[in-house]
Structures are given as structure tokens and as C-alpha cells.
Amino acid sequence: MIAVKYKNVVICKYHLHIATPLKGRKNIKYGELFAIVSKQWADVNDIKQLCGNGRNKARQIRKEIEQDILASGKKLLDSKVKKVPMSKVIDYLNLDIDYIVKMAMLENEIINNDRRIK
């Protein structure tokens, strides 16, 4: 596998990932990450993928966001699957959207260039 290391990111043939992944954490492609943060509402599975923790920690994060929203006097959707606004999840996790978009575009460009070569 050909890989180019740039700062803390390794650009491989098919995906980008952090050079030192956390133990037990699945490396998520930036395209997948972009697809998740592009959603309007986040459920536990989305939060779990974004923060790389387990389901219980994702539920705890969702509950904290729910409590903040309800404490501000706003209401949430009543549904079978509890969801919170993605913008609140992004703020809570302090995600850099510009970086995610840039890396997803770079990843897509690398994949497209690789397909053209074949």
C-alpha cells in the first residue's frame, strides 16, 4: 500500500485516516464522516460514529444535549428514535466542519484519480 504522511494525517490509496488511531476504534473515512455531519438530526448511532465511543457514552451525550435544549425552553421532536439537532452535536464535540469538508473532497479526488488511472 502506498501512503503519504502529511502532519498527523496519512493519505493512503483509498482512504485518509489519522496516523495514530485510537485502540479499538474503527477508522472512518472522511466521506462517511461528511455524510454523517450533513444530516439535520443525529441519533445515537451517528453520535457513536462521530465520537468513536460506545453506545452508552453516545446516549449520555444525546441526553446532555437534550437537557440543554429543554432547559433553554425549546422542544424536541417526539419520535420512537430520539434525535437531537446535528448542529448541537457538532458544537458539543467541537468538530471542525471546514477541515472535514476539505479532507472529504481530497479523499474523493484521490479515489477519482485512482479510477482514471486504471
pLDDT in tens, 98-113: 999 999 899 888 877 7
Could you tell me how many residues make up the chain? 118
Note the pLDDT of residue 5. 41
3-state secondary structure of 76: coil
The overall average pLDDT reported for the chain is 79
Cβ atoms within 10 Å, residue 92:
18
Residue 90 dihedral angles phi and psi, to the nearest 5°: -60, -45
Give the position of cell 495514530: 20
Q: Would the pTM of this model clear 0.95, i.e. be above it?
A: no
Strand pairing partners for 10? 5, 17
- The model's pLDDT over 22-56, given as tens digits with 9 standing for 90+, comes to 444 567 888 889 999 999 999 999 999 988 888 99
Task: List, in order, residues 6 or more apart from 115 with CB less than 8 Å away.
Answer: none
